[in-house]
Chain A
Amino acid sequence: MTDMTMPSRAVPSSEDIETAARAALARRKRLVVGLRVGILVAVLAGWEISTRLEWIDPFFFASPSGIFSQIAIWITDGTSQGPLWEQVLVTLEETVLGFLIGAVGGVACGILLGRNKLLADVFSIYIKIANSVPRVVLGSIFIIAFGLGMASKVALAVVMVFFVVFANAFQGVREADRAMIANAQILGASPVQITRTVIIPSAMSWILASLHVSFGFALVGAVVGEFLGAKKGIGLLISTAQGAFNANGVFAAMIILAVVALVVEFAITWVENHLVRWKPTPFHEQT
């Protein structure tokens, strides 16, 4: 005879279950963070040890300690082209300017063509052609046309950003819900009101998604522009280090770029979360 009820053990209260669930969640979080740190330490230590034991040549492949001391020197003594913060600021300025101009232009053109079928049909072929040109090549033209200063880098960043944002804005406008537009129309909205209150908000999640990707492109545009010819900037820092066979310098500049990109990415995510408050929280964030 089996007795399924177990009077000796009390049924756990919902408070107990919640406490247990919270504890399990915290444990898991600690595990993930621990593993992440562990992997980082293992890779850096492996790299450092291999260079110390000369399994790989630190002259070509740099070493974590070398990279670290290079960054330290740049911070304390400045770089060969002036203080480090100045280089970061110049690259950041080019990137942000290019990003803003490209994004605004992309959104404006995307909405215009998305709303106007004739314009879309006429211009789609040219946009396809322009999009298929490897845009980094335009950098050379821009250096010739705008010189070694900031303008050529901004121009390159703009073309890198524009097409990505444009394509997303255009698609977002096209995907706007037909019933929603008809609803606004019957409620009394004019075409301008429809664009402002229905089309742009519904394209917004597409546009924001593209901004994430395209900021990275803007940074690539600015840095490649500096490679090709510049007086200041992190790109120039990299090409100078490359010219001097300074592998530590190349990696150090790369890390600085990565930090800059991460900080800005964080800022964009923050803005995005504020702009699309109305969206249901994705499941994986509901923990």
Chain B
Amino acid sequence: MPLLTPSRDVQRPAAAGAAAPAIELVNVSRRFVTPEGKAMTALRDFDMVVGQGEFACVVGPTGCGKSTTLNLVTGLARPSAGEVRVMGQPVGGVDPGVGFVFQTDALFPWRSVLDNVAAGPLYRGVPRKEAYEKARDWIARVHLAKFEQHYPHQLSGGMRKRVALAQTFINEPKILLMDEPFSALDVQTRTLMQDELLALWSGTGASVVFVTHDLEEAVALADKVYVLTAGPATVKTVFNVDLPRPRVMSEIRYDQHFVEVCKVIWDALREEVQIGQQRTMDSGH
């Protein structure tokens, strides 16, 4: 299959500078101690390189440690071994160039849509007037101009996700991390939101790491798909997806090449999903 190139993708870290990849995880392991006092390994010998402006998706069996990769990049979690670099620099704390879209609703329910979107610039010390102007602009870009004064509970799930996207994009992140952001939405809304995301992302030059358990979503969005093993997670295979951009979500799923790519990646993923399933059943949880 010449169009699809599985590779073990273990690139050596590049020197800091303009040419450095946006995100590098080099031989990273992450262990943590559960409240019961048992040591758990979430990630093991994990390697990942995301170039600047690249859209990478991470797929893997449920509960394998996909989200841990994102937490390591934000600096909210530290690696037990190995190194995490953002723009060639080792991660030391929350990087201002990072944006994060959560799986659950992380909007502030006591703030209106406008105040939610303006939160980032306000936290960062942008003058109020300027912050609100910017917020209005971003709210318009996600088509919620009429809902500026609404509170999150007055909006639908899809609208809340739009607010979350605007809230993240307003900080103009160089690195965009997304943790199953659309998994709680119904299928139609999800397709719309995927289009919305690609539209917002294109032209920003931001690098994206998008964690999902939905393989088709991963293939439709990504330049590169990382398939992880059942936990403790490590990279099983990396697939490059060469579907042309711009992509239209509602059409791409009928594209012959898209179907082929999905099939190939699914073959790699299926094994891990089965291992994960088996393990869950054996442990009786």
Contacts and interface: CB of A to CB of B under 8 A. Distances in A.
Interface of A: 177, 179-180, 182-190, 193, 197-198, 201-202, 204, 276-280
Interface residues of B, number: 28
Given A186-B74, A187-B119, A187-B123, A180 B110 contact: no
Nearest to B99: A186
Interface in B90-107: 94, 96, 98-100, 102-107
Nearest to B151: A278
Contact of B108 (A201, A276, A277): A201
Contacts of B158: none
Contacts of B141: none
B96 A188 contact: yes
B106 A177 contact: yes
A193 B119 CA distance: 11
9 contacts: A180-B108, A184-B119, A186-B76, A187-B171, A188-B171, A197-B123, A204-B110, A278-B153, A279-B153
Q: Main SS of the interface on chain B?
A: loop
A278 B106 contact: no
Contacts of B146: none
Interface of B: 74, 76, 94, 96, 98-100, 102-112, 119-120, 123-124, 151, 153-154, 167-168, 171
A182 B102 CA distance: 9
Contacts of A201: 108, 110
A122 to B, nearest CB: 20
Given A183-B100, A186-B100, A187-B171, A193 B123 contact: yes
Nearest to A200: B110
A278 B109 contact: yes
Q: Main SS of the interface on chain A?
A: helix
A188 B102 contact: no
Given A186-B94, A279-B109, 13 more contacts: A177-B106, A179-B103, A180-B107, A182-B76, A182-B100, A183-B102, A185-B76, A188-B94, A189-B123, A193-B123, A197-B119, A278-B109, A279-B153
B14 to A, nearest CB: 25
Given A177-B106, A182-B76, A186-B94, A278 B111 contact: yes
Contacts of A183: 100, 102, 106-107, 167
Contacts of A204: 110
A279 B119 CA distance: 19
Contacts of B99: 186
A117 to B, nearest CB: 13
A201 B105 CA distance: 16
Given A179-B102, A279-B153, A188 B110 contact: no
A180 B164 CA distance: 11
Going nearest first, the 9 A-B pairs with the smallest beta carbon separation are A183-B106, A188-B123, A187-B120, A278-B110, A179-B106, A188-B124, A189-B123, A278-B151, A280-B153
Nearest to A189: B123
A190 B171 CA distance: 16
Contacts of B74: 182, 186
A276 B111 CA distance: 10
B76 A188 contact: no
B230 to A, nearest CB: 25
Contacts of A280: 153-154
